[in-house]
Amino acid sequence: MEKRLPLSIVVNLVPVPALSTDETELTYTDNVSDHGACVVSSHPWQPGEVAEVTSLLDQISLRGRVVHCRECGDDRYAIGLKLQNAVLWPAYLTHCSNSRKNYTRASPVPSSTQCPANCHD
């Protein structure tokens, strides 16, 4: 089990292959690790599906396979992604502290509906 950073990064989430641009969803990560991410989605995904996440901050795109999908409440789903390559997420933390910006969730999730801590196991 990898250490997770409770880092919210605003991303575009899209299935691969995308059939249309209508499938792109503006959302955020709930937590990240070196080889995975928990991304919040407005619809359920199936294990094995491939997704691409692109950060709005620097337009870096990452692909990952859905490991699981858990309902978080309020029509939100925690999508556990196993990324194809290791990611240096701490670079985001360094960037955020250097620029003194506070990157927060696109829309708050009430504490009663937080996504599971073990999102991308």
Q: What's the pTM value of the predicted model, to 2 decimals? A: 0.75
Q: Per residue, what are the HEC states of the chain?
A: CCCCECCCCEEEEEEECCCCHHHCEEEEEEEEECCEEEEEECCCCCCCCEEEEEECCCCCEEEEEEEEEEEEECCEEEEEEEECCCCCCHHHHHHHHHHCCCCCCCCCCCHHHCCCCCCCC
pLDDT by residue, tens only, the chain of 121 residues: 678 888 888 999 999 998 787 899 999 999 998 889 999 999 999 999 999 999 888 888 899 999 999 999 889 999 999 998 877 664 555 545 554 444 333 333 333 345 555 565 4
Task: For the domain covering 10-101, report its CATH number.
Answer: 2.40.10.220
Q: So what's the pLDDT on residue 7?
A: 86
pLDDT of residue 19: 79
Annotated domain spans of the chain: 10-101
What is the per-residue pLDDT for 22? Answer: 85
